[in-house]
Amino acid sequence: MKTRSDHNPAETGYILLICALTFLVMSVRPSFGQIDTAGNKKHDKDAPVRYLSLFEDEDILEVSLHFDLTRFLKKADRDQSIDGIMTLHFSQADSMEKKVTAKYRGQSRYERCKYPPARITFKKPVYEGSDSGRIKKIKLVNQCQPATIYEDYLIREYLVYKLYNVVTDTSFRVRLVRLNYIDTEKKRKPIIQYGMLVEPEGLVESRLNLLEVKSKALSMRHMRPTMIDRIAIFNYMVSNWDWSVPGQHNISVFTSPIPSLAGQGIPIPFDFDLAGVVNADYAIPLPETGLTSNRDRTFLGICRSREVFVSELKVFISKKDEFYSVVENSPHLRKAAKRDITFFLDQFFDQLEKPRGFDRMVDLFLANCKDFQ
């Protein structure tokens, strides 16, 4: 069984990282200030006509994407950009039309899915809110395949984001959309399916007063302990093995713009399609994980003391009702899916609420954690 102190030794690599993060903060503070829309209004010739509040509303947003659909679905060039028009339909009488380019994103879904997820770049930015900065690029997640079951997978993944919103506000917000793919070449009929917009990193920066850190050299020991511990426990709860801080795989890392606070990374997870809560038929764990099913839970967090794991698990117990409320009150999730997700969460919480089960979970964390001493 592995144990460790919560205090990390001042190793050379760690000191260098702190220096690098501090240098980053000092060097980009002026550009970070430009995220403030109050400053942008004076200098930006693309001053907004309206603020969208994409991530404030819960209603499904109607979105149409007009482009060469055959070229997009053919996936002949991994790095291709496809020009098009995106229309945001706020109501029958109210819409916004923007010129965009679409590029593929992600790896597993690009390879496995008929409809790969995309990163949409606006030729001219749109604005989320008067205090939230502007949107130049945004992630669009769509159904992997056309069948009804894939609608469920998309909504389930959307729900995982909402569950993580319960854990912390330092998380990506999402908006469910009704997505209309319209072929400008008129070779295909329109495709209508569910989709999801994921809050851009730039909005997270301005909303939470943070700076994104893009570095492949970071590890969990460089993260703020409470944040990385809760991500590890959350991913255990939803049975998500597809994440890691090194290489920033399905993890974005931020830091504070205040130099004295810039020594620790603030991680935020995304892309939960392989999680057990989603239970997608294509979510087959990699052989090196040692898992036989996407519903086998595994703990991938950093080693802490027993007291730390006990404290963090109690936080999850305190939020149990909120987690279940997210599932039960979802207007878009089928009853069968609600029952399935509730049953899966029950397996986690039923163990936590029994003294012996609680101790066994802590023992499991201590036995499987990653020791970076």
Q: What's the pLDDT tens digit per position in 246-277?
A: 999 999 999 999 988 888 999 999 999 999 99
> CB-side exposure of 224: number of CA atoms within 13 Å?
15
Cβ(36)–Cβ(44) below 8 Å: no
Measured distance CA(162)–CA(196) in Å, rounded? 12
Higher pLDDT, 107 or 343: 343
Q: Evaluate if residue 126 carries a pLDDT over 70.
A: yes
Percentage of the residues of the chain whose pLDDT score is greater than 70: 86
Q: Which pair of structure tokens corresponds to residue 241?
A: 């093995």
pLDDT of residue 53: 87
What average pLDDT does range 3-26 have in this prediction?
46
The conformation of residue 361, written as its DSSP 8-state character, comes to H
Query: pLDDT tier at 75 (50, 70, 90 boundaries)?
Result: very high
Which amino acid is located at 37 in the chain? T
What average pLDDT does range 178-188 have in this prediction?
95
pTM recorded for the entire structure? 0.88
Measured distance CA(308)–CA(134) in Å, rounded? 39
Q: Evaluate if residue 175 carries a pLDDT over 90.
A: yes
Strands 134-142 and 174-183 turn out to be: unpaired
Q: Into which CATH architecture does domain 12-29+209-368 fall?
A: Orthogonal Bundle (1.10)
Angle in degrees, CA 122, 274, 111, rounded to 5: 60
Strands 94-104 and 81-91 turn out to be: antiparallel
Strands 134-142 and 61-67 turn out to be: unpaired
Q: Evaluate if residue 35 carries a pLDDT over 80.
A: no
Query: pLDDT tier at 57 (50, 70, 90 boundaries)?
Result: confident
Helix (H) or strand (E) holding 156: helix 148-167
Cβ(313)–Cβ(362) below 8 Å: yes
Kindly list the strands in the beta sheet with 211-213, ordered across the sheet, starting from the edge strand earlier in the chain: 211-213, 251-255, 266-269
Strands 61-67 and 174-183 turn out to be: parallel
Angle in degrees, CA 143, 275, 363, rounded to 5: 175
pLDDT of residue 11: 46
**C-alpha pair distances (Å), 361 with each of 8, 56, 302, 309:** 24, 36, 15, 9
pLDDT of residue 56: 87
Strand stretches in the chain, DSSP E: 61-67, 81-91, 94-104, 118-127, 134-142, 174-183, 191-198, 211-213, 251-255, 266-269
Closest among 237, 259, 360 to 310, alpha carbons compared: 360
Percentage of the residues of the chain whose pLDDT score is greater than 90: 77
Cβ(140)–Cβ(104) below 8 Å: no
Q: Which residues have a Cβ under 8 Å from the Cβ of 361 and sit 6 or more positions away?
A: 313, 351, 352
Measured distance CA(289)–CA(17) in Å, rounded? 29
pLDDT of residue 27: 42
pLDDT of residue 50: 81
State the chain's mean pLDDT as an integer.
88
Query: pLDDT tier at 330 (50, 70, 90 boundaries)?
Result: very high
Q: Which pair of structure tokens corresponds to residue 112?
A: 């496995």
Choice among 4-18, 77-91, 190-204, 228-242 with the minimum mean pLDDT: 4-18
pLDDT of residue 132: 66
Measured distance CA(143)–CA(150) in Å, rounded? 6
Q: Evaluate if residue 293 carries a pLDDT over 90.
A: yes
Residues of CATH 1.10.1070 domain(s) within the chain? 12-29+209-368
Query: pLDDT tier at 14 (50, 70, 90 boundaries)?
Result: very low
Q: Evaluate if residue 13 carries a pLDDT over 70.
A: no
